[in-house]
Amino acid sequence: MKRFVDQMARYLAAEYPLHCRDTTRVELHEFVDRSVRAAVAMGIDTEGAMGVLAELRLVYGESFERAPDRAWIRNILAHRRLPGYVKIEAIQDRLSEKTAGRVLVPFPPA
């Protein structure tokens, strides 16, 4: 799992420099580790789905507080019978639809 956390932290730093601009390497690794632990608790058990969850949490907040339809997202994540990858795909599709595919940018931009 350490390898995955390292790779995911590097990916997030490269793909989301504005979101990571005030985050140290250690803090980013801790964020990814928290995201992985949250994923496991929600029944998300594949690296791909865990990675997407970490990405979504970076953009929309660890509790999806900046996400449109945050209550719906929390309900999907809490669903006990849906497979993890189905939860993540549904959330990703819904957020993409609501934001027209635009990534939220932290304010103020650097």
Q: Indicate the domain borders of the chain.
A: 2-99
DSSP string, 2-64: HHHHHHHHHHHHHH-HHHHTT--HHHHHHHHHHHHHHHHHTT--SHHHHHHHHHHHHHH-TT-
Question: Is pLDDT above 60 for 108?
Answer: no
pLDDT given at position 102? 76
User: pLDDT-derived band of residue 101, with 50, 70 and 90 as boundaries?
Assistant: confident
Q: Which of 24, 78, 73, 28 is nearest to 54 (CA)?
A: 28
Share of the chain above pLDDT 70, in %: 95
* Overall average pLDDT of the 78-104 stretch: 89
User: pTM of the prediction?
Assistant: 0.89
Query: 105 or 49: which carries more pLDDT confidence?
Result: 49
